């Protein structure tokens, strides 16, 4: 049962991340949801449109796959009208880019001040222990802090709108690089005659500075061929494209990120888009002629 007087929350996009948020918040708040696919299993009331959420909720969490879907929601005339007429605060919690969000805020006019970026650092199963960086109006953030702090161990205001998306995209550049080099090294083990399982067992359980939680998660699944889908190659490709374009527009130098893009592009050519990012290892198990990752 929701707490008396609790903030009402609307979640737009009730996939794995949105569903985790809904389950975490439902005991404390009135939580409503919208998704293009029915989600009766989440245990919250689902409504017919995002505009209804803008009318009924104090706070909106947009948890959508890409800037394209976010734009489709925000620029829909019925949603825009409802949002502009009320006092709802909206947080773009997707992995997006600062320029896209700024364009959406401009289309909302004065109401754009109530649109903030708050992408998640963490996986669905860690909901409640996430870190959520936030960019945008600090007063609007404080209105929503009680909700965000149920989702995250740390909610950090970074500065102007777009700051949080910048941080998240830079983080995902590192994610891509660790993913790609882990796949490359495991492929090299096989070429060198060192059992990949031995490499992973020894390194992952060592105190080597190269070991990260991401390596400990990915490397065993790369060796075992585990088909569990945590984060798809399609999503990794999307994030890389956004991050590289953001950096290029700012004149930042990129080297390893471009190499990561090469690996991900080859994975897409192998038809691995819907697969988990651990499937990048298959690029290095295929022949050089087939994949073309190495020169």
Query: Is residue 1 included in any domain, yes or no?
Result: no
Q: What is the pLDDT of residue 189?
A: 93
Phi, psi of 228 (to 5 degrees): -60, 130
Same domain for 207 and 119? no
Biggest CA–CA distance in the chain, Å, is 66
Q: What is the pLDDT of residue 23?
A: 95
Same domain for 13 and 126? yes
Q: Which tokens go with 224?
A: 């075992």
Same domain for 131 and 196? no
Tens of each residue's pLDDT in the chain, 295 residues? 445 445 899 999 999 999 999 999 999 999 999 999 877 788 899 999 999 999 999 999 999 999 999 999 999 999 999 999 999 999 999 999 999 999 999 999 999 999 999 999 999 999 999 999 999 999 999 999 999 999 999 999 999 999 999 999 999 999 999 999 999 999 999 889 999 999 999 999 999 998 999 999 999 999 998 878 999 999 999 999 999 999 999 999 999 999 999 999 999 999 999 999 999 999 998 544 344 454 4
Which of 263, 217, 208 is closest to 240 using CA atoms?
Answer: 263
Q: What is the pLDDT of residue 40?
A: 72
Query: Is residue 2 included in any domain, yes or no?
Result: no
Same domain for 154 and 186? no
Q: What is the pLDDT of residue 142?
A: 94
Q: Write the DSSP symbol of residue 198.
A: H
Query: Is residue 4 included in any domain, yes or no?
Result: no
CB contact at 8 A, 40 and 46 = yes
Same domain for 21 and 139? yes
Same domain for 284 and 206? yes
Give the residue from 139, 159, 179 where a domain finishes.
Answer: 159
For the CA atoms of the chain, what is the radius of gyration? 21
CB contact at 8 A, 57 and 9 = yes
Separation of alpha carbons 9 and 26, rounded Å: 9
The neighbouring-strand residues paired with 259 are none
Q: What is the pLDDT of residue 38?
A: 74
Give the residue from 125, 159, 193 where a domain finishes.
Answer: 159
Same domain for 282 and 179? yes
Query: Is residue 83 included in any domain, yes or no?
Result: yes
Q: Report CA-CA distances (Å) from 159 to 70, 80, 143, 167, 290.
A: 22, 25, 16, 11, 46
Q: What is the pLDDT of residue 4?
A: 40
Same domain for 125 and 267? no
Query: Is residue 27 included in any domain, yes or no?
Result: yes
Q: What is the pLDDT of residue 42?
A: 85
Q: What is the pLDDT of residue 239?
A: 96
Query: Is residue 3 included in any domain, yes or no?
Result: no
How far is residue 44 CA from its own chain's centroid? 22
Q: What angle do the packed helices 213-224 and 163-192 form, to 10 degrees?
A: 40
Give the CATH number of the domain where residue 223 resides: 1.10.1040.10
How far is residue 248 CA from its own chain's centroid? 21
Q: What is the pLDDT of residue 5?
A: 44
Which of 269, 286, 280 is closest to 236 using CA atoms?
Answer: 280
Task: Please give the tally of structural domains in the chain.
Answer: 2
Query: Is residue 79 included in any domain, yes or no?
Result: yes
Per-residue H/E/C for 168-225: HHHHHHHHHHHHHHHHHHHHHHHHHCCCHHHHHHHHHCCCCCCCCHHHHHHHHHHHHC
Domain range holding 135? 9-159
Residue with tokens 């997006």: 96
Q: Write the DSSP symbol of residue 287.
A: -
Same domain for 183 and 284? yes
How far is residue 221 CA from its own chain's centroid? 21
Q: Which tokens go with 94?
A: 């997707």
Separation of alpha carbons 236 and 242, rounded Å: 10
DSSP secondary structure string, 16-46? Answer: HHHHHHHHHHTTTS-EEEE-SS--GGG-SEE
Give the CATH number of the domain where residue 49 resides: 3.40.50.720
Query: Is residue 267 included in any domain, yes or no?
Result: yes
Phi, psi of 254 (to 5 degrees): -130, 135
The neighbouring-strand residues paired with 241 are none
Same domain for 238 and 279? yes
Q: Is 209 exposed, middle or buried (0-12, 13-18, 19+ CB in 10 A)?
A: exposed
Same domain for 203 and 111? no
Give the residue from 126, 159, 192 where a domain finishes.
Answer: 159
At residue 9, the 3 state secondary structure works out as strand
At residue 136, the 3 state secondary structure works out as coil
Same domain for 250 and 136? no
């Amino acid at each position: 049962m929701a707490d008396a007087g609790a903030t009402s929350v609307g979640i737009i996009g009730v996939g794995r991340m949105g569903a985790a948020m809904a389950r975490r918040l439902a005991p404390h708040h009135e939580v409503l949801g919208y998704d293009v696919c029915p989600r009766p299993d989440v245990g919250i009331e689902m409504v017919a449109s995002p505009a209804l959420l803008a009318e009924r909720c104090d706070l909106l969490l947009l948890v959508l796959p890409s800037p394209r879907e976010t734009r489709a929601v925000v620029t829909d005339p019925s949603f825009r009208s409802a949002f502009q007429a009320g006092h709802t605060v909206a947080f773009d919690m997707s992995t997006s880019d600062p320029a896209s969000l700024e364009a959406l805020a401009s289309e909302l006019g004065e109401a754009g001040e109530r649109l903030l970026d708050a992408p998640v650092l963490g996986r669905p199963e860690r909901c409640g222990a996430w870190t959520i960086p936030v960019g945008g109006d600090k007063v609007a953030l404080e209105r929503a802090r009680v909700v965000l702090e149920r989702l995250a161990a740390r909610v950090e205001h970074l500065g102007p709108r777009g700051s949080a998306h910048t941080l998240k995209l830079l983080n995902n550049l590192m994610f891509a690089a660790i993913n790609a080099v882990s796949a490359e090294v495991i492929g090299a083990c096989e070429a060198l005659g060192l059992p990949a399982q031995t490499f992973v067992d020894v390194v992952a359980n060592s105190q080597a500075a190269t070991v990260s939680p991401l390596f400990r998660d990915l490397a065993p699944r790369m060796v075992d061929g585990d088909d569990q889908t945590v984060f798809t190659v399609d999503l990794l490709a999307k994030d890389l494209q956004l991050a590289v374009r953001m950096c290029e527009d700012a004149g930042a130098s990129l080297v390893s990120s471009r190499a990561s893009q090469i690996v991900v592009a080859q994975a897409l050519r192998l038809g691995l888009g819907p697969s988990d990012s651990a499937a990048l290892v298959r690029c290095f198990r295929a022949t050089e002629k087939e994949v073309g990752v190495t020169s």
